[in-house]
Every structure is written in C-alpha cells, then in structure tokens.
Amino acid sequence: MTTPVKKRRTAFIHCPELESFSYPPDCPFNSSRAGRTRKILASMGLLTGPGRSEVAPQPATRERILTFHSPSYLDALIAAESGHLDVEGLRMGIGTEDCPVFKGLVAYASLAAGATMKAAEVILAGEADVAFNPSGGYHHAGPSKASGFCYINDVVLACKKLVAVGKRVVFLDIDVHHGDGVQWAFYDSPDVMTISLHESGKTLFPWGGFEEEVGDGDGLGYCANVPLPPGTTDSAFLRALDAVAIPLIRAYNPDVIVLEMGMDMLAADPLAHLNLTNNAYCDAIERILACRRPLLAVGGGGYNVENTARGWALAWTVFCGEDGGWSDMSLGLGGVMLGTSEWQGGLRDPEQVPDPAIQAEVDRAVDETIRKVKLNVFPYHGLTD
C-alpha cells in the first residue's frame, strides 16, 4: 500500500485595503494586479477548500522596517508624501520617475511589506507549506534608496526575520530584473543564498547582476547571477534553472525558500525583452516544490496587467496541486473573464513554438552563462560540472 501524498497547505496573503491604493496612472507599476489575481482565484473557487486559507496582513511596523532601512530614509518617505521633498529625498530616489510620490505611498508600502511579514509568520508557525503574497517582491529598494517602483524592501525584511530565528534561507528571484536590493543586503553573509535569473544587465535595468557577482567575505559563493539574453525562451530558461539554481538550492539545503516571481519574463511584457510563457513558471515552481521546503512566494514585476494576474493565479493552482484540473478548462466554466483578447483557453498560455534559428542563438548564450556561473560558484559548494 502506498502512502498518500500529503496535500500542501497554502495561504494567500491579501486584504481589500491593499486594493485601495494606486501608483500614479502614468506609472507602469499597477498595484491592482494582486486584487485581480484574487478575483480570478475566488471566481474559480480556488481560495477555499481543504488546506487553503486567506490571511489578512497588518502593516509592517516602523521597528520592522528599520531592521533594513535607515531612519532618515523612512522619514524622507513620510515627509515626501506630505509634500516635503528636498534634495536629500531626491538623492534617495524618492519622487523620481521610477519612484513617484503618491497619496498613501507609505501606508501601501508598509502594508505590502506587512503582507510578506505575515507570509513569513505563517511559514514559521508551520501553518502553511506555501504562503503567497502577490503584493510583495520590492527587491530593488536599498537601505536608503527607492528604486524601480520599490520603496520598502519586503523581501529583505522577511529574510532577516527568518534568519533571526536561525533559518537558512535561499532567495530565488525569477523576476526579469536583477534582484539587486536583496543581493547587496546579504552579499557578505552565508545566511541567505541569493540566486537571481534575469534579463542581462547589458540590456535591462538595474544594469547589473553579472556572473562575476558571487558574494564577498563570509558570503563568498552565496550569491549567484544568471543573466539571460533578450529572446530567452521557456526551454532555455528552464535549462538555466535546472543547471544552476536547483543544484545550488539542494547543495545549500535551506530551511525556507523565498521565491520572487515577477511575471515580467513573459513574452510581450512592455518593460522587458524575454519570451517566456507562463508554462515555464509552472515548470519552475514544480521544480522548486520538489525541493520539499516551506516556500514563501511573493509577486514582483509584471507590466502586462492581465497576463501577470493570470500568471499568478496559475502559480497558485500549482502551489495547491490543482493545475492539472484547470489548464484544459475553458474560462466559462469558472465564470471568469480575464479580459485578454489573445488567448481564451484557460490560465495557461499556448505552448511555445520558437523559431529554430533564434532558439539556437539563445541556447548558445545561455549555455555560456551556465558555464561561467558553474565555474564561479559551484566550487564553494562541493559541486562539480
């Protein structure tokens, strides 16, 4: 007799208040994506059922935010929102095109960060195997720096919280942008291994995250960067994930995996140049779940709003082990209107059929990256090849 596979317990971290804020209309960052994701899942009945819960967050406290950010930076954010933006604030990136000041900015950023804190609490309390905050993933923010639509770095705060109670953490970032804020926060520490797959800094903000960035001091070898060329396809992305990220995660043997899954690697994202379908995200998540560690997942970027919400909803179905049932169903069955004119076949994108010449070119570049990363990082972990 075989033992039945234990059903994963999943927690969706969200509250209606998160939907009451918005970045300025001319800003590509759309905070309604989390609410849209929730709406899709609710209409499909996928937020309820055995092992599933919805958990409401509280705003991150000032004390919590100051475990990473400087008091002067937090005060500058608060001051900017009330109309006092000086040169020092601008120097910190506040009020720039990428980090505009808007009504409710501090409340939103604190609540979004609090939602990632709540995800960490749920994981630490053993109440869920996977906790997902689609409103999280502000991986660019620095201690005294707003950057790339990010003000409060919820990922760093959560990793610090986990480390403070003795957990070994892997941060795996598959947002299309390099996870610079998190990388630099733990660059000289072995407590958090950061692994970022992203479009190369040669062609995309934040213009870093190269193979040679591998950590420093005690953190040497605990940072891995996998820059991908424009046009990267599902198979090339997955080959890099399998060749580099999964072996490193297994070698490091973390207590918790923190996953940032910005949906801006998807084809036709208006801010980036990769060519993935959401099938690749599903396959990536399956491989991460196969590592059998508690998983704290956050959203991140994704500038095609409908594709992003659909991708995150699909990711949730994979977390819950429900994907098989939904991938082939028509939208009408769940009563869901996704608002996309491109594909009406369900949450999954159509299978990709890449141009062979482009595929060959992408494969060559990705193989060269894999070779470099293995050379630079694997020896620190007793990994060969």
> Smallest distance from the beta carbon of 274 to Zn ion, in angstroms?
11
> Smallest distance from the beta carbon of 269 to Zn ion, in angstroms?
8
Pick out residues in 281-310 that bind Zn ion (CB under 5 A): 301
> Smallest distance from the beta carbon of 252 to Zn ion, in angstroms?
24
**175 near Zn ion (CB under 5 A):** yes
**Which residue has the closest beta carbon to Zn ion?**
301
User: CA–CA separation, 180 vs 147, rounded Å?
Assistant: 10
**262 near Zn ion (CB under 5 A):** yes
Selected range binding Zn ion among 65-73, 113-121, 167-175, 279-287, rule: CB under 5 A = 167-175
285 phi/psi in degrees, rounded to 5: -65, -40
Cβ-based nearer residue to Zn ion, 80 or 315: 315
**311 near Zn ion (CB under 5 A):** no
Cβ-based nearer residue to Zn ion, 173 or 349: 173
**179 near Zn ion (CB under 5 A):** no
Give 39's contacts (C-beta < 8 A, 6+ positions apart). 309
Binding Zn ion (rule: CB under 5 A), the pick from 213, 234, 264, 349 is 264
Residue type, 43: S
**Per-residue DSSP letter, 5:** P
Cβ-based nearer residue to Zn ion, 139 or 374: 139
Residues contacting Zn ion: total by CB under 5 A: 6
Separation in Å, CA 266 to CA 262, 269, 353: 9, 6, 14
User: CA–CA separation, 131 vs 14, rounded Å?
Assistant: 11
Cβ-based nearer residue to Zn ion, 33 or 177: 177
Cβ-based nearer residue to Zn ion, 81 or 264: 264
Paired strand residues for 194: 171, 223
Q: Known catalytic residue: 177?
A: no
Tokens representing 83 are: 């109309």
Paired strand residues for 54: 12
Selected range binding Zn ion among 23-31, 175-183, 231-239, 353-361, rule: CB under 5 A = 175-183
Omega before residue 206 within 30° of 0, cis = yes
Short-list 349, 314, 323, 264, CA closest to 41: 314
**9 near Zn ion (CB under 5 A):** no
Q: Which of 14, 69, 140, 177 is catalytic?
A: 140
Q: Kindly report the CA angle at 32 between 183 and 46, in degrees rounded to 5?
A: 90
User: CA–CA separation, 109 vs 64, rounded Å?
Assistant: 13
Binding Zn ion (rule: CB under 5 A), the pick from 177, 178, 293, 310 is 177
Active site residues: 140
Q: Which residues bind Zn ion (CB under 5 A)?
A: 175-177, 262, 264, 301
